[in-house]
Structure 1
Amino acid sequence: MSIYKEILGDQFEKLQPMLQKRYALPKGKPFEATGMMKKISGGPKWLLPFFLLGTRWKFLFPEQGENIPFKIVNTTRTGPSGEQQVHWERIFQFPKKKRYFNALMSLDADKSVVKDYLGEPSLFYSELIFIVSEGGHIRIESGKQRFVLGSIEIPLPAIFQGVVQVEEYYIEERDVFSIHVFITNPLIGTLFEYEGEFRADVF
Protein backbone atom coordinates (compact mmCIF):
# COMPACT_ATOMS: atom_id res chain seq x y z
CA MET A 1 0.00 0.00 0.00
CA SER A 2 1.40 3.41 -0.94
CA ILE A 3 1.86 6.11 1.68
CA TYR A 4 -0.80 8.18 -0.09
CA LYS A 5 -3.37 5.40 -0.01
CA GLU A 6 -2.61 4.88 3.67
CA ILE A 7 -2.81 8.57 4.63
CA LEU A 8 -6.11 9.07 2.78
CA GLY A 9 -7.75 5.87 4.02
CA ASP A 10 -11.35 5.55 2.81
CA GLN A 11 -11.03 8.91 1.05
CA PHE A 12 -8.64 7.35 -1.46
CA GLU A 13 -11.56 5.62 -3.21
CA LYS A 14 -13.20 9.02 -3.75
CA LEU A 15 -10.32 10.21 -5.91
CA GLN A 16 -10.79 10.28 -9.66
CA PRO A 17 -9.89 6.76 -10.91
CA MET A 18 -6.80 7.97 -12.79
CA LEU A 19 -5.57 9.79 -9.69
CA GLN A 20 -6.03 6.56 -7.74
CA LYS A 21 -3.87 4.81 -10.31
CA ARG A 22 -1.27 7.57 -10.22
CA TYR A 23 -0.93 7.58 -6.44
CA ALA A 24 -1.13 3.80 -5.92
CA LEU A 25 2.61 3.56 -6.79
CA PRO A 26 3.13 -0.20 -6.58
CA LYS A 27 6.62 -1.16 -5.43
CA GLY A 28 9.13 -1.37 -8.25
CA LYS A 29 6.90 0.47 -10.72
CA PRO A 30 7.70 4.20 -10.85
CA PHE A 31 5.26 6.74 -12.18
CA GLU A 32 6.82 8.70 -15.06
CA ALA A 33 5.16 11.51 -17.00
CA THR A 34 6.03 14.38 -19.31
CA GLY A 35 4.20 17.59 -20.02
CA MET A 36 4.30 21.36 -20.14
CA MET A 37 4.15 24.03 -17.47
CA LYS A 38 1.98 26.85 -18.80
CA LYS A 39 3.67 29.24 -16.41
CA ILE A 40 6.38 29.26 -13.77
CA SER A 41 6.76 32.35 -11.61
CA GLY A 42 8.51 33.38 -8.41
CA GLY A 43 8.84 36.07 -5.80
CA PRO A 44 10.48 39.52 -5.79
CA LYS A 45 13.81 40.03 -7.53
CA TRP A 46 15.76 40.46 -4.28
CA LEU A 47 15.13 36.75 -3.55
CA LEU A 48 17.00 35.72 -6.72
CA PRO A 49 20.34 34.97 -4.92
CA PHE A 50 18.53 32.64 -2.48
CA PHE A 51 16.73 30.82 -5.29
CA LEU A 52 19.99 30.53 -7.25
CA LEU A 53 21.66 29.03 -4.18
CA GLY A 54 18.76 26.59 -3.90
CA THR A 55 19.68 25.05 -7.26
CA ARG A 56 22.71 23.42 -5.59
CA TRP A 57 20.29 21.31 -3.57
CA LYS A 58 17.85 20.68 -6.43
CA PHE A 59 15.40 22.75 -4.43
CA LEU A 60 14.09 26.08 -5.81
CA PHE A 61 15.39 27.99 -8.83
CA PRO A 62 15.26 31.60 -10.11
CA GLU A 63 14.10 30.99 -13.70
CA GLN A 64 10.57 31.91 -14.73
CA GLY A 65 8.67 31.56 -17.98
CA GLU A 66 5.83 30.09 -19.97
CA ASN A 67 5.43 26.78 -21.80
CA ILE A 68 8.33 25.07 -20.05
CA PRO A 69 8.80 21.33 -20.79
CA PHE A 70 8.37 19.25 -17.66
CA LYS A 71 9.07 15.71 -16.49
CA ILE A 72 8.13 13.98 -13.26
CA VAL A 73 9.31 10.65 -11.85
CA ASN A 74 7.88 9.19 -8.61
CA THR A 75 9.80 6.18 -7.29
CA THR A 76 9.00 4.06 -4.23
CA ARG A 77 11.96 3.27 -1.96
CA THR A 78 12.65 1.61 1.37
CA GLY A 79 14.25 3.93 3.92
CA PRO A 80 17.04 3.07 6.38
CA SER A 81 14.52 2.18 9.10
CA GLY A 82 12.42 0.04 6.74
CA GLU A 83 9.84 2.77 6.14
CA GLN A 84 8.34 3.31 2.71
CA GLN A 85 9.53 6.45 0.95
CA VAL A 86 8.57 8.12 -2.31
CA HIS A 87 11.21 10.05 -4.22
CA TRP A 88 9.90 12.95 -6.30
CA GLU A 89 12.04 14.13 -9.19
CA ARG A 90 10.54 17.16 -10.95
CA ILE A 91 12.52 18.47 -13.92
CA PHE A 92 11.90 21.79 -15.68
CA GLN A 93 13.69 22.24 -19.01
CA PHE A 94 14.30 25.95 -19.52
CA PRO A 95 15.93 27.10 -22.80
CA LYS A 96 19.43 27.24 -21.26
CA LYS A 97 19.09 25.35 -17.97
CA LYS A 98 17.60 22.18 -16.56
CA ARG A 99 16.20 22.81 -13.10
CA TYR A 100 14.93 20.46 -10.41
CA PHE A 101 12.45 20.60 -7.55
CA ASN A 102 13.09 17.29 -5.77
CA ALA A 103 11.76 15.80 -2.57
CA LEU A 104 11.61 12.64 -0.48
CA MET A 105 8.31 11.81 1.22
CA SER A 106 7.39 9.31 3.92
CA LEU A 107 4.49 8.74 6.29
CA ASP A 108 3.97 9.86 9.87
CA ALA A 109 0.92 7.76 10.71
CA ASP A 110 0.72 9.07 14.29
CA LYS A 111 0.30 12.66 13.12
CA SER A 112 -1.68 11.73 9.98
CA VAL A 113 0.72 13.73 7.80
CA VAL A 114 3.18 13.05 5.02
CA LYS A 115 6.74 14.10 5.85
CA ASP A 116 8.25 16.03 2.94
CA TYR A 117 12.01 16.59 2.83
CA LEU A 118 12.86 18.99 0.00
CA GLY A 119 16.23 19.20 -1.72
CA GLU A 120 19.13 16.81 -2.18
CA PRO A 121 20.54 16.67 0.43
CA SER A 122 17.46 17.85 2.30
CA LEU A 123 17.37 21.56 3.04
CA PHE A 124 13.77 22.05 4.10
CA TYR A 125 11.08 19.98 5.81
CA SER A 126 7.32 20.40 5.68
CA GLU A 127 4.41 18.39 6.98
CA LEU A 128 1.85 17.83 4.23
CA ILE A 129 -1.87 17.29 4.68
CA PHE A 130 -3.61 15.39 1.86
CA ILE A 131 -7.29 16.07 1.16
CA VAL A 132 -9.75 14.74 -1.42
CA SER A 133 -11.87 17.65 -2.63
CA GLU A 134 -15.23 17.75 -4.37
CA GLY A 135 -15.00 16.11 -7.76
CA GLY A 136 -12.26 13.71 -6.67
CA HIS A 137 -9.35 16.17 -6.96
CA ILE A 138 -6.37 15.86 -4.64
CA ARG A 139 -5.44 18.87 -2.54
CA ILE A 140 -2.24 19.22 -0.53
CA GLU A 141 -1.63 21.81 2.18
CA SER A 142 1.44 22.46 4.32
CA GLY A 143 1.70 22.22 8.09
CA LYS A 144 4.70 22.61 10.40
CA GLN A 145 8.01 23.38 8.70
CA ARG A 146 11.69 23.18 9.62
CA PHE A 147 14.99 24.30 8.15
CA VAL A 148 17.35 21.32 7.79
CA LEU A 149 21.09 21.52 8.45
CA GLY A 150 22.39 17.96 8.24
CA SER A 151 21.09 16.17 11.33
CA ILE A 152 19.82 19.42 12.87
CA GLU A 153 16.26 20.60 12.14
CA ILE A 154 15.26 24.11 13.19
CA PRO A 155 11.51 24.85 13.54
CA LEU A 156 10.39 27.84 11.47
CA PRO A 157 7.97 30.42 12.93
CA ALA A 158 4.85 30.88 10.81
CA ILE A 159 6.05 34.26 9.58
CA PHE A 160 9.06 32.62 7.86
CA GLN A 161 7.21 29.65 6.39
CA GLY A 162 6.24 28.97 2.81
CA VAL A 163 2.52 28.21 2.81
CA VAL A 164 1.98 25.45 0.24
CA GLN A 165 -1.23 24.81 -1.69
CA VAL A 166 -1.36 22.14 -4.38
CA GLU A 167 -4.26 20.94 -6.50
CA GLU A 168 -4.02 18.06 -8.94
CA TYR A 169 -6.77 16.50 -11.03
CA TYR A 170 -7.33 14.50 -14.19
CA ILE A 171 -8.89 15.88 -17.39
CA GLU A 172 -10.48 12.84 -19.01
CA GLU A 173 -11.28 14.51 -22.35
CA ARG A 174 -7.58 15.15 -23.02
CA ASP A 175 -6.02 12.30 -21.02
CA VAL A 176 -3.83 14.66 -18.96
CA PHE A 177 -3.17 15.45 -15.32
CA SER A 178 -3.44 19.11 -14.34
CA ILE A 179 -1.27 20.50 -11.54
CA HIS A 180 -1.13 23.86 -9.76
CA VAL A 181 1.48 24.51 -7.05
CA PHE A 182 1.30 27.82 -5.18
CA ILE A 183 3.70 28.80 -2.37
CA THR A 184 3.28 32.05 -0.46
CA ASN A 185 4.73 33.74 2.60
CA PRO A 186 2.80 35.99 5.05
CA LEU A 187 5.29 38.85 4.61
CA ILE A 188 6.53 38.50 1.03
CA GLY A 189 3.49 37.17 -0.80
CA THR A 190 4.09 34.78 -3.72
CA LEU A 191 7.35 32.82 -3.45
CA PHE A 192 6.93 30.19 -6.16
CA GLU A 193 4.20 29.01 -8.49
CA TYR A 194 3.83 26.64 -11.39
CA GLU A 195 0.80 25.46 -13.31
CA GLY A 196 0.53 23.02 -16.19
CA GLU A 197 -0.35 19.58 -17.47
CA PHE A 198 1.37 16.24 -17.91
CA ARG A 199 0.61 12.83 -19.37
CA ALA A 200 1.80 9.46 -18.05
CA ASP A 201 4.52 7.92 -20.23
CA VAL A 202 3.43 4.35 -19.45
CA PHE A 203 0.40 3.45 -17.38
Structure 2
Amino acid sequence: MTIYQTLLGEDFTRLHPKLQKRYALPVDQPFYAKGVMHKIESGAKWLRPFYAMATKTRFLFPESGEDVPFSICNTCRVLPSGELEVLWERTFYFSNKTRYFDARMTVDPVQKIVKDYLGSPALFYSDLHFAVTSEGRLVIRSGVQRFVVSQIECPIPKMLEGRVVVEEGFDNKRNVFTIHVSIHNPLIGRLMMYAGEFTQQSM
Protein backbone atom coordinates (compact mmCIF):
# COMPACT_ATOMS: atom_id res chain seq x y z
CA MET A 1 0.00 0.00 0.00
CA THR A 2 1.57 3.30 -1.10
CA ILE A 3 1.30 6.68 0.57
CA TYR A 4 -1.86 7.87 -1.19
CA GLN A 5 -3.79 4.70 -0.36
CA THR A 6 -2.60 5.00 3.25
CA LEU A 7 -3.69 8.62 3.41
CA LEU A 8 -7.10 8.30 1.77
CA GLY A 9 -8.11 4.95 3.26
CA GLU A 10 -11.56 3.88 2.03
CA ASP A 11 -11.90 7.11 0.04
CA PHE A 12 -9.21 5.80 -2.31
CA THR A 13 -11.80 3.40 -3.78
CA ARG A 14 -14.02 6.38 -4.64
CA LEU A 15 -11.44 7.71 -7.09
CA HIS A 16 -12.04 7.07 -10.77
CA PRO A 17 -10.59 3.58 -11.51
CA LYS A 18 -7.93 5.12 -13.76
CA LEU A 19 -6.85 7.43 -10.94
CA GLN A 20 -6.74 4.49 -8.53
CA LYS A 21 -4.36 2.73 -10.91
CA ARG A 22 -2.32 5.91 -11.40
CA TYR A 23 -1.87 6.51 -7.67
CA ALA A 24 -1.34 2.89 -6.62
CA LEU A 25 2.35 3.32 -7.55
CA PRO A 26 4.03 0.01 -6.63
CA VAL A 27 7.55 0.49 -5.31
CA ASP A 28 10.11 1.09 -8.09
CA GLN A 29 7.47 0.85 -10.82
CA PRO A 30 7.19 4.41 -12.19
CA PHE A 31 4.05 5.95 -13.62
CA TYR A 32 5.18 7.78 -16.77
CA ALA A 33 2.97 9.91 -18.99
CA LYS A 34 3.14 12.47 -21.78
CA GLY A 35 0.69 15.14 -22.75
CA VAL A 36 0.16 18.82 -23.35
CA MET A 37 -0.48 21.78 -21.12
CA HIS A 38 -3.12 23.78 -22.98
CA LYS A 39 -2.26 26.82 -20.88
CA ILE A 40 0.61 27.78 -18.59
CA GLU A 41 0.64 31.16 -16.86
CA SER A 42 3.34 32.44 -14.53
CA GLY A 43 3.20 35.54 -12.35
CA ALA A 44 4.09 39.21 -12.73
CA LYS A 45 7.34 40.25 -14.43
CA TRP A 46 8.68 41.83 -11.25
CA LEU A 47 8.81 38.31 -9.76
CA ARG A 48 11.57 37.32 -12.23
CA PRO A 49 14.33 37.30 -9.53
CA PHE A 50 12.25 34.81 -7.53
CA TYR A 51 11.70 32.62 -10.60
CA ALA A 52 15.42 32.78 -11.43
CA MET A 53 16.17 31.31 -8.01
CA ALA A 54 13.34 28.77 -8.31
CA THR A 55 14.44 27.43 -11.72
CA LYS A 56 17.87 26.59 -10.30
CA THR A 57 16.17 24.17 -7.88
CA ARG A 58 13.75 22.69 -10.46
CA PHE A 59 10.75 24.46 -8.97
CA LEU A 60 8.70 27.33 -10.50
CA PHE A 61 9.68 29.11 -13.72
CA PRO A 62 8.87 32.42 -15.50
CA GLU A 63 7.63 31.11 -18.87
CA SER A 64 4.00 31.17 -19.98
CA GLY A 65 2.55 29.49 -23.05
CA GLU A 66 -0.14 27.48 -24.77
CA ASP A 67 -0.11 23.87 -25.96
CA VAL A 68 3.21 23.15 -24.28
CA PRO A 69 4.37 19.49 -24.46
CA PHE A 70 4.71 17.95 -21.03
CA SER A 71 5.83 14.75 -19.31
CA ILE A 72 5.46 13.43 -15.79
CA CYS A 73 7.14 10.60 -13.91
CA ASN A 74 6.06 9.45 -10.44
CA THR A 75 8.24 6.89 -8.67
CA CYS A 76 7.63 5.35 -5.25
CA ARG A 77 10.79 4.32 -3.43
CA VAL A 78 11.81 3.08 0.00
CA LEU A 79 13.97 5.45 2.05
CA PRO A 80 16.76 4.15 4.32
CA SER A 81 14.38 4.73 7.25
CA GLY A 82 11.89 2.30 5.68
CA GLU A 83 9.47 5.15 4.91
CA LEU A 84 7.90 5.30 1.46
CA GLU A 85 8.53 8.40 -0.65
CA VAL A 86 7.08 9.38 -4.03
CA LEU A 87 9.29 11.39 -6.35
CA TRP A 88 7.47 13.73 -8.75
CA GLU A 89 9.34 14.81 -11.89
CA ARG A 90 7.44 17.16 -14.20
CA THR A 91 9.02 18.48 -17.42
CA PHE A 92 7.66 21.29 -19.61
CA TYR A 93 9.05 21.56 -23.15
CA PHE A 94 8.76 25.20 -24.22
CA SER A 95 9.93 26.06 -27.73
CA ASN A 96 13.20 27.61 -26.52
CA LYS A 97 13.57 26.20 -23.00
CA THR A 98 12.93 23.05 -20.99
CA ARG A 99 11.69 23.63 -17.46
CA TYR A 100 11.26 21.29 -14.50
CA PHE A 101 9.07 21.06 -11.41
CA ASP A 102 10.21 18.40 -8.91
CA ALA A 103 8.82 17.34 -5.56
CA ARG A 104 9.23 14.61 -2.94
CA MET A 105 6.22 13.39 -0.97
CA THR A 106 5.80 11.28 2.15
CA VAL A 107 2.73 10.76 4.33
CA ASP A 108 2.02 11.56 7.97
CA PRO A 109 -0.75 9.06 8.84
CA VAL A 110 -1.34 10.65 12.26
CA GLN A 111 -1.99 14.17 10.97
CA LYS A 112 -3.46 12.74 7.74
CA ILE A 113 -1.37 14.96 5.50
CA VAL A 114 1.13 14.52 2.71
CA LYS A 115 4.49 16.17 3.42
CA ASP A 116 5.63 17.82 0.20
CA TYR A 117 9.18 19.10 -0.39
CA LEU A 118 9.29 21.22 -3.55
CA GLY A 119 12.38 21.52 -5.73
CA SER A 120 15.68 19.67 -6.09
CA PRO A 121 17.18 20.51 -3.66
CA ALA A 122 14.04 21.47 -1.78
CA LEU A 123 13.31 25.19 -1.59
CA PHE A 124 9.86 25.02 0.01
CA TYR A 125 7.83 22.64 2.14
CA SER A 126 4.04 22.37 2.24
CA ASP A 127 1.44 20.26 4.00
CA LEU A 128 -0.99 18.83 1.45
CA HIS A 129 -4.59 17.82 2.12
CA PHE A 130 -6.12 15.24 -0.24
CA ALA A 131 -9.84 14.76 -0.92
CA VAL A 132 -11.99 12.83 -3.39
CA THR A 133 -14.94 14.53 -5.09
CA SER A 134 -18.33 12.91 -5.67
CA GLU A 135 -17.33 12.52 -9.34
CA GLY A 136 -14.19 10.58 -8.42
CA ARG A 137 -11.68 13.37 -9.04
CA LEU A 138 -8.75 14.06 -6.75
CA VAL A 139 -8.46 17.51 -5.16
CA ILE A 140 -5.30 18.60 -3.34
CA ARG A 141 -5.01 21.77 -1.26
CA SER A 142 -1.97 23.18 0.49
CA GLY A 143 -1.72 23.86 4.21
CA VAL A 144 1.14 25.01 6.42
CA GLN A 145 4.24 26.02 4.44
CA ARG A 146 7.91 26.56 5.26
CA PHE A 147 10.95 27.98 3.48
CA VAL A 148 13.78 25.42 3.38
CA VAL A 149 17.44 26.38 3.76
CA SER A 150 19.56 23.22 3.91
CA GLN A 151 18.44 21.53 7.14
CA ILE A 152 16.65 24.62 8.47
CA GLU A 153 12.93 25.16 7.87
CA CYS A 154 11.41 28.59 8.52
CA PRO A 155 7.62 29.08 8.77
CA ILE A 156 6.11 31.22 6.02
CA PRO A 157 3.53 33.82 7.16
CA LYS A 158 0.10 33.01 5.75
CA MET A 159 -0.03 36.21 3.70
CA LEU A 160 3.16 35.14 1.92
CA GLU A 161 2.14 31.54 1.22
CA GLY A 162 1.67 30.17 -2.27
CA ARG A 163 -1.76 28.59 -1.86
CA VAL A 164 -2.07 25.53 -4.03
CA VAL A 165 -5.18 23.88 -5.48
CA VAL A 166 -4.80 20.84 -7.73
CA GLU A 167 -7.61 18.93 -9.41
CA GLU A 168 -6.92 15.75 -11.34
CA GLY A 169 -9.49 13.64 -13.14
CA PHE A 170 -10.02 11.28 -16.05
CA ASP A 171 -12.02 12.01 -19.20
CA ASN A 172 -13.70 8.76 -20.25
CA LYS A 173 -14.75 10.05 -23.66
CA ARG A 174 -11.24 11.12 -24.65
CA ASN A 175 -9.37 8.53 -22.56
CA VAL A 176 -7.01 11.11 -21.02
CA PHE A 177 -6.04 12.26 -17.53
CA THR A 178 -6.90 15.91 -16.89
CA ILE A 179 -4.99 18.27 -14.62
CA HIS A 180 -5.48 21.82 -13.34
CA VAL A 181 -2.97 23.41 -10.94
CA SER A 182 -3.23 26.88 -9.40
CA ILE A 183 -0.65 28.51 -7.10
CA HIS A 184 -1.89 31.85 -5.78
CA ASN A 185 -0.75 34.34 -3.18
CA PRO A 186 -3.31 36.63 -1.48
CA LEU A 187 -1.05 39.69 -1.86
CA ILE A 188 0.82 39.05 -5.10
CA GLY A 189 -1.79 37.14 -7.06
CA ARG A 190 -0.96 34.28 -9.44
CA LEU A 191 2.40 32.57 -9.03
CA MET A 192 1.70 29.71 -11.45
CA MET A 193 -1.23 28.09 -13.22
CA TYR A 194 -1.27 25.23 -15.66
CA ALA A 195 -4.02 23.09 -17.14
CA GLY A 196 -3.87 20.24 -19.60
CA GLU A 197 -4.10 16.52 -20.20
CA PHE A 198 -1.86 13.47 -20.46
CA THR A 199 -1.84 9.74 -21.20
CA GLN A 200 0.24 6.96 -19.65
CA GLN A 201 3.20 5.79 -21.72
CA SER A 202 5.78 3.02 -21.56
CA MET A 203 9.22 4.17 -20.48
Give 1:28 shift. 2.0
Determine whether 1:11 maps to 2:11: yes
Identity %: 53
Distance in 2 (alpha carbons) for counterparts of 1:182 and 1:155? 21
Residue 122 of structure 1: aligned partner: 122
Residue range with higher mean Cα deviation, 185-194 or 30-39: 185-194
CA contact (8 A) 2:27 2:78 kept: no
- Runs of 4+ aligned structure 1 residues displaced above 6 Å come to none
Determine whether 1:183 maps to 2:183: yes
Residue 143 of structure 1: aligned partner: 143
Distance in 1 (alpha carbons) for counterparts of 2:79 and 2:114? 14
TM-score by length of 1: 0.98
SS in 1 for 2:190: strand
Residue 40 of structure 1: aligned partner: 40
Deviations 1:31-83 (A, max 9, x none): 00000000100111100121122111001111110000000000011123211
Gaps of 5+ in 2: none
CA contact (8 A) 2:115 2:126 kept: yes
Give 1:202 shift. 3.6
Paired AA for residue 56 in structure 1: K
TM-score by length of 2: 0.98
Distance in 2 (alpha carbons) for counterparts of 1:72 and 1:6? 22
Aligned residues: 203
Residue 159 of structure 1: aligned partner: 159
Q: How is 1:1-203 mapped onto 2 (pairs within 5 angstroms)? A: 1-202=1-202
Deviations 1:65-116 (A, max 9, x none): 0000000000011123211000000000011111001000001111100000
Distance in 2 (alpha carbons) for counterparts of 1:107 and 1:181? 21
SS in 1 for 2:20: helix
Deviations 1:142-201 (A, max 9, x none): 000000000000011100100000000000111100000001001011110000000000
Distance in 1 (alpha carbons) for counterparts of 2:109 and 2:156? 22
* RMSD of aligned Cα (Å): 1.0
Gaps of 5+ in 1: none
Residue range with higher mean Cα deviation, 163-172 or 77-86: 77-86
